[in-house]
A = this chain, B = another copy of it.
Amino acid sequence: MDSVKPKRSLVEETYDILIDAICSGELPPGERLNQDVIAAQLNVSRQPVNSAISILRANGLVEDTGRRSVVVSSFDPQLFQSIFEYRKVVEPFAVELAARELQKTDRRHADRVLKVGEKAFQSGKLTDLVHADMQFHEMIYGWSRNQVIQTSMKTNWHHIRRSMAVVLRSPETVSQVWSEHAKIVEQLFDGNSDQARQTMARHIGGAYEAISADISDPVVADAD
């Protein structure tokens, strides 16, 4: 068992806390980030907070206002559309790659992930649902053995989570999502990789349809 303490730095800790606050919607778009306040809340000096914000800025999750402050980036429907347009091509590709060499042990992992999804569905907690959804897709990215897909999608999920925090999904939609997940796994392990690919493409397309209607209006900072 890995009981090593990674010994995370305060910069990392601060970064994780901030990105989580942003993605969960706790810090909504346009919200100002005051270094002194954050430092006080986390009981650290301003220095690690400053570094963490530098990373967030480099990743586009916060932006300078031209004034003296940084704010959480506005959530742009255009970006959301880009993400799903992108996913509709990349995720079926990930499925195709995953089919190359599936291990038998992977099946156990898949079943576990699907089970967690079921539980999250029954609990009805949005946070759990989003998390489980992400887990499933990240499993596929991992199977693809393509690092670029994994890292680019990691960034995308920050934005996806951010949008999910605003959007409510109907139970029927959620139910369908998880039956499609199961179907993809089934087809993959049955050797029908091409079908799995197509199912994934439809899955992403459908998810976008289901969600996009709700986020037609951009969420931006309050005008002064």
Contacts and interface: CB of A to CB of B under 8 A. Distances in A.
Contact of A148 (B51, B52, B82): B82
Nearest to A60: B151
Contacts of A189: none
Interface residues of A, number: 30
Copies of this chain: 2
A141 B128 CA distance: 35
Interface stretch (A28-36, A86-94, A102-110, A111-119): A86-94
Interface of A: 11, 15, 47, 50-52, 54-55, 58-60, 78-79, 82-83, 85-86, 89-90, 93, 97, 145-149, 151-152, 155-156
Contact of A54 (B11, B89, B147): B11
B54 A146 contact: no
Contacts of A79: 147-148
Given A54-B11, A55-B55, A151-B155, A146 B60 contact: no
Contacts of A156: 148
A54 B47 CA distance: 12
Contacts of A59: 58
Contacts of A82: 145-149
